[in-house]
Structure 1
Amino acid sequence: MTQLVWFRNDLRVSDHSALTEACQAPGADIKAIFLWTPKQWQQHDYGLARQYSIRSALVTVARDLAQLGIPLTILQADTWLSGVDQLIDFARQHSVRQLTFHREFGWDEVQRDQYAIEQARLAGITTWVGEDRVGFDPASLLTGQGEMYRVFTPFKKRWLSQHAETPLTAPLPVPSTRAPALSELPDIPEVDWNGTAELPLNEHDAHEHLDQFADAMPRYKDQRDLPATEGTSRLSAALASGAISLRQCMHSAFSHPKFDSAGVQTWLSELIWREFYHYLLYWRPDIARHKPFYPRWDAFPWLQDETALHHWQQGQTGVPIVDAGMRQLAQTGWMHNRVRMIVAMYLVKLLKIDWRQGERWFAQQLLDIDFASNNGGWQWCASTGVDAAPYFRIFNPHTQSQRFDPSGDYIRRWVPELASVPAKAIHEPTQQLARHLGYARPLIDYKRARAETLELFKQL
């Protein structure tokens, strides 16, 4: 009986329940497939960085599957729906009896999967759909009134109370008794991305990185907001492509000998935040169609300032911490999370540019782009989403810089014009100093911009 495993954002061999399901079928002939759909990704604003990340994980998956005697086929298609047609044709040609894959929550993803299930049924192929992006079926996590959670803290409490009743990890795939597949890799398209990846992108590197991070996990709370320090896990790209699973990361936290430390607890909380954003996407799929969670905020009079947007994108705002973050993004495809909040709130709350412009730019530039997390973070900064920052919370980028990069080391690395500036002056250099060093002039006056934004929100 031929089993076909459909890989998507789960590009690994371990802790892969759809692969495990296929391997457990007695005497199964197992094949694997992946749809390479750059035009579909472009419709979602995913850029070359994301494609590079996917390809990096795919190369390793293909080799690992070959060691299990499972060939991986890459099908290229313009859209997911046309890719599904190719997938079903492939399944017919190889007499596939069952198609296994993991559920995803995006608007287009749900349409794709419903179409795939129906087309498989018409072809006489059964489907098995597992849970992978989250620890629990979102429909199982509801308030006492049977409604979805809109605030993170009670969601987290419910998640933790239910976790004890659910196994943390799925079993590993059962190795095939067949001889390993041919060593040649499938035809995986090249990706012409010009950045410099500083993140683990494949399964083996991700697990090695997680093992190394375990030593630093107890210090995570104290170090995670310091962009000049290696205080975060840097596993976001591997989580986005599924080169490592959320369950595997959580298992590392729950099994940590210092589980009760503030650092481990804080990292676990961040992982649950990631699940919360996918949970929101499940219950409110319209946010995948550029909708704010609370529609009333759509009335905010966002500015159409292409010049200011361009300066922000290029790291030329005249605010050192903002420019450092945007340049780090351009050069590496990644940005420190604290700095992401600073640059996002600067764009939305001070330049008053629509948060969807920033969301799109991040999607185009990030190696670790994950729609649910990216959308959730931008709506939090814009005060349009659930559990959002109140509209009157507006980060002062200069004081944020002084607090989280006090010595200015992060700024010096990414804004070389300011490399010689002492710590006291680097966070907000005078216009005379900036002009002397060839650094950009500030686009706005912080106090005036903040006051204008507060007044606009109050009117709503």
Structure 2
Amino acid sequence: MSSEAPATISARAGLWLRHDLRLRSNPALAAAAKLNGAEQPIPALILLCPQQMHEHDWAPIKWDLYYRHLHEFVKSAAAAGIALSIQVIESWQVAPKAVKRFAEQQQLSEVHVNVEYPLHEVRRDRAVKALLEQQGVAWHGHHGNLVVPPVLTTQTGTIYQKFTPFAKAWRQHLREQLGHSGLPFMHPVERRCKVAAAVVPEVDYPRQDSSAWVVGEDAVYQQLQGYIDEQVSAYAAERDFPGLDTTSRLSPYWELGMLSPWQAVQQLAQLSPDFPDALDQGPDVWLTELIWREFYQHLMFHVPRLNYGKAFLKHTDAMQWREDTDSFQRWCEGRTGFPIVDAGMRQLAAEGWMHNRVRMIVAHFLVKDLLLDWRLGEQFFMRHLIDGSFPANNGGWQWSASTGTDAAPYFRVFNPTLQSEKVDPDGSYIRKWVKELADCPKQHIHAPGKWLKDRKRSDYPQPIVDHKVARERFLAAFKAL
């Protein structure tokens, strides 16, 4: 991932920051700091591109979280001797020239980055690298955003298409890496020089209040530490119950690079001397969720068509999806008449977040009960989720739609009412988000249609579909492929 620059009179390294606004566990920053020495500031560039955010369906609440964190980061960066330059650009097509101009102005001999893996980001970085090398500036890419970079292959040299063998190989790779070199550099970069804090420019992009989420590297890191110390032990037992709200809620910080996955590994490693082995069930299941995140990153890197809205299972692109704007709108607004689905969609609208189990339920419902294209749901999620991750979101939707690698079998069709009874047995989650059912008794909360009819109430809709009929419709459509 690197190239050597021609000999220069004075080596000087710069940094291009993207989804990695952090001082801890940042190998690109550590490498640049090592070359420059403790007495010299580190020139660093941040490019903001509203057009790209729009094209990639950034949720307004996700942008608000990033923007708030950026204001905190410029202060901590200045105290650490990082001389930031923050620029707003029209499109990523001009990124190569912007980075080249930055390198010229700062008289850099090399530029360091943490690698990003989706196809468009890979192509962008290739263009930047080529232009820099024409000017004699070396490009160094570091794997700071994944624990295991996309190098894992099967014994026959192919990519892993099933999660279980991937997870086994991932753990073995980590085991070997820890045994060989231990944890990578994790501490904040410390300098003996100070610089003025950069001015954060205004950006023309819609924002939704994210103040319920902490920002600033120290606060985010403390949230990680607190979760591992106090809650992760119960994760396996409690993770499927949205009413308990006991998941970590750290996903936005990994997506935006305010945390690195290595920091999670560092915290988990303290729980077992044989890490990644011999973890208790809670931490081990939580680690498995982190591996799922990396699995989808690897797939996005190795399977280009996933970047173009195509199904992993090619034959499923021929699926005949219904066109039903009204049903889709009712799903979006949480007016399907299935309380667990509506609670999830209303939580998404209000908080920009949804419990992971409920994400699976609402996705199954859109695809298999309403027979609507999974790509509609994928885009809607990206436009509203504070933790919207292209690889993870795509992987989750294709799993639910039975179009992806290692996906749920097509004949596995969630019954939303049974799922509701299983994950929200007392109805507390439903009552929180579906106010019309606040007084609905427990025995009716999961299927309140008759209870509402008996009281001649119309403030909450009747079910939009008959699940049994919808299930058979989906199975027939999938079998026809």
Q: Would you call these one fold, judging by a TM-score over 0.5?
A: yes
Where does residue 249 of structure 1 map in the other structure?
264
72-81 vs 238-247, which deviates more?
72-81
Instruction: Tell me what 1:193 maps to.
Output: 207
What letter corresponds to residue 302 of structure 2 in structure 1?
W
Q: Which residue of 1 aligns with 2:467?
A: 446
Q: Which moved more, 1:55-64 or 1:126-135?
A: 55-64
CA contact (8 A) 1:325 1:340 kept: yes
1:267 match:
286
Q: Which secondary structure does the structure 1 equivalent of 2:259 belong to?
A: coil
Residue deviations 1:64-91, cap 9 Å, x none? Answer: 1111121222111121121332221122
Deviation at 1:458, TM superposition (A): 1.4
Contact 2:12 2:36 survives alignment (8 Å) = no
Cα distance in structure 1, aligned partners of 2:331 and 2:36: 57
Q: Give the conservation status (yes or no) of the 8 Å contact 1:200–1:235.
A: no
Quote the Cα distance in structure 1 between the aligned partners of 2:16 and 2:227: 31
Q: Using a 3 Å threshold, how does the CA distance of structure 1 residues 349 and 195 change in structure 2: closer, same or farther? A: farther
Question: Equivalent of 1:305, from 324, 327, 338?
Answer: 324
Instruction: Measure the CA separation in 2 of the matches of 1:312 and 1:209.
Output: 33
- 1:133 deviation in Å? 2.3
> What is aligned with 1:129?
141
| SS of corresponding position for 2:267 | helix
Q: 1:21 to 1:307 in 2, by over 3 A?
A: same
- Cα–Cα, structure 1 residues 358 and 266, in superposed 2: closer, same or farther, change >3 Å? same
After TM superposition, the score normalised by the length of structure 2 is 0.92
Q: 2:381 aligns with which of 362, 370, 373?
A: 362
Gaps of 5+ in 1: none
1:237-291 per-residue CA deviation (whole Å, 9 max, x = no partner) reads 0010010011111222222259621111100111111111101111112201101
State which of 203, 207, 211 in structure 1 corresponds to 2:221. Answer: 207
Write the distance in 2 (CA, Å) between the matches of 1:293 and 1:198: 36
Q: Which moved more, 1:198-207 or 1:95-104?
A: 198-207
Contact between 1:62 and 1:71, CA under 8 Å: does it hold in 2?
no
Q: Say how many residue pairs are matched.
A: 458
In structure 1, the partner of 2:167 is 156
Offset of residue 306 of structure 1: 0.9
Runs of 4+ in 1 over 4 A off after TM superposition: none
Residue matched to 1:221: 236
Question: What secondary structure, in the 3-state scheme, does the structure 2 residue paired with 1:455 have?
Answer: helix
Paired-residue identity, %: 37
Q: TM-score by structure 1 length?
A: 0.96
Deviations 1:165-215 (A, max 9, x none): 21333343541221x222464325376423455444442222111122111
Matched, 1:144 2:145: no
Aligned to 2:55: 43
**Amino acid across the alignment from 1:326:** M
Distance in structure 1 (CA, Å) of the matches to 2:419 and 2:245: 18
Aligned partners of 1:50, 1:189: CA distance in 2, in Å? 14
Matched, 1:340 2:377: no
SS of structure 1 residue aligned to 2:460: coil
- Whether contact under 8 Å (1:195, 1:331) holds in the other structure is no
More displaced stretch, 70-79 vs 371-380: 70-79
Q: Deviations over 1:370-396 (max 9, x none)?
A: 111000000000011111000001111
For structure 2, list consecutive stretches of 5 or more residues without a partner in the other structure: 1-10
Aligned to 2:231, what secondary structure does the other structure show? Answer: helix
The within-5 A match list for 1:42-441 is 42-139=54-151, 141-166=152-177, 167-178=182-193, 180-183=194-197, 185-187=199-201, 189=203, 192-214=206-228, 215-256=230-271, 260-431=279-450, 433=452, 436=457, 438-441=459-462
SS state of the match for residue 71, structure 1? strand
For residues 404 and 251 of structure 2, what CA distance do their matches in structure 1 show? 22
- For residue 420 of structure 1, give the secondary structure of its aligned residue in structure 2: coil
Q: Are 2:27 and 2:142, in contact at CA under 8 Å, matched by a contact in 1?
A: yes
